[in-house]
Amino acid sequence: MRIGLRILLGYFLIVALAAFLLMRVFTQEIKPGVRQAMEDTLADTANVLAELATDDFLAGRIDDGRFATRVRALRERTIDASIWGFRKAQADYRVYVTDAAGTVVFDSSGRDRGRDFSRWNDVYLTLRGRYGARSTRSDPADDGTSVMHVAAPIRDGNRIVGVLTVAKPNSAIAPFIARSERTILRWGFVLLGTALAVGLLAAWWLSRQLGGLRRYADKVTAGERATLPRAAGEFGDLGRALETMRERLEGKQYVERYVHALTHELKAPLAAVRSASELLEAPLPEADRARFAASVREQSERMAQMIDKLLALAAVEHRQRIEDPADIDVATLVDAAVAPFADRDVAVRVRQASDIPVPRTRGDVFLLRQLLSNLVDNACDFSPPGGTVDVSVSVTADRLRIAVADRGPGIPDYALPRVFERFYSLPRPGGRSRSSGLGLAFAAEVATLHGGDVRLENRDGGGTLATLELPLAPAG
């Protein structure tokens, strides 16, 4: 299948699915939305009528007073109105009133007077001072016979002495719902047709651009002379990138020789630094000579170690053990890890429990320092400006525990199981770009390599707590 057709099918599938879901949501929301609007109107009507009925109710003439006469006359009134294209001839309201016991004392339809409605939600809830409403089918098997009932209290002072309910069949609004659904479906199909036309055009254009680049790549692969095709936008950038890649691949052997030579040459300056440190010991005063010589020697050794360790980082996931573990003073390790963050606007505080001896562990000091630096850097990135990152050291049983805590936004629940995945990262606060997503994955691998583990969890009160646990070095 050609790529243009695959792009078209994929695009149309996405658009069709989106249009289907959108139309489905709209059509499903129309009916409850219209009914909610009708319920709001019924609530206003019920409260108005309850106020009008109060005098007759309190006087004991609710079934034969002026209120009852006017409400019954409503059934004979001819409305003859055109409402948004639909004819309305008569009012659809039914009004009934119950006393404080829930017994119907007035019914505009005349069929339920004297019945006990105390268990119906509209009456039951309203008599208890709450909002009462219900939707009940006249025929339990037919949703089209559903009738909405909304009630309002009749009060004698602050006391609820009765309930007035206004009922209206939901079928009265069915034509409006059906018309809205037809309109949405019609425009949905128009949108789908438009999307298909746009998709065809886009697929043709993409296929044409990609086809030119593919033919160019085929000629380059075959060793033929080829001219870069004209392309627009990102395809032009891709074409230029392919051209640059071709030129650089042609010089690959030269690059490899250059890298080998560079690697060899790096050893010579390091040897010269070591020689200079030895020469510096003679012509200077003893104190200065020793100090400068030691500094040059220390820096040269550090440079050599850095080169070796940087090369080893790429293979840390494949290492089975630490080849030459060293005894590590944890206080010194932590201080070295947090030192680079002194110029941040986030303060990094280091605390150690006073009732424990200076803890020590065994392992690779470089890798552990990088691990801690990653955790502190992560905490600083997510801390608010002027915030504080706490680094604490404690000992439990035979385990060393180093905790890095911040007061940032914390980790969303959906991200907690994935924070140690390679290339998975979260956006930094303030719109800063994401990290590479490798720091925490590296931290987890180094911890495992040392027989420990690292965890991230949200703190009470906000923020994140990163905990590194390592085995303590054997005593003696």
pLDDT, residue 323, reads 72
Distance from C-alpha of 459 to C-alpha of 446, rounded to nearest angstrom: 24
pLDDT, residue 48, reads 94
C-alpha dist (Å) from residue 320 to 317, 362, 449, 454: 8, 16, 7, 18
pLDDT, residue 356, reads 61
0.75 exceeded by the pTM? no
H/E segment holding residue 157: none
Residues 6+ apart with CB under 8 A from 239: 213, 216, 228, 229, 231
pLDDT, residue 258, reads 35
Task: Tell me the pLDDT of the chain (476 aa) as tens digits.
Answer: 565 566 667 766 777 777 777 666 665 666 677 778 888 889 999 999 999 999 999 999 998 899 999 998 887 777 767 776 667 767 888 899 999 999 999 998 888 899 999 999 999 999 999 999 998 887 778 777 788 999 999 999 889 999 999 999 887 777 777 777 777 778 777 877 777 777 777 777 777 777 777 777 776 666 554 666 777 666 667 766 767 766 665 555 434 443 443 344 345 456 556 655 665 656 666 776 666 666 566 556 645 644 554 444 445 554 546 777 888 888 888 888 888 877 777 777 777 655 566 678 888 888 888 888 888 888 888 888 878 888 888 887 778 888 998 888 888 888 888 888 765 777 777 655 556 566 777 788 888 888 888 999 998 888 889 899 888 887 65
Beta carbons of 445 and 314 less than 8 angstroms apart = no
Beta-carbon-side half-sphere exposure of residue 31 (alpha carbons within 13 Å)? 11
Beta carbons of 7 and 207 less than 8 angstroms apart = yes
Distance from C-alpha of 476 to C-alpha of 372, rounded to nearest angstrom: 26
pLDDT, residue 279, reads 56
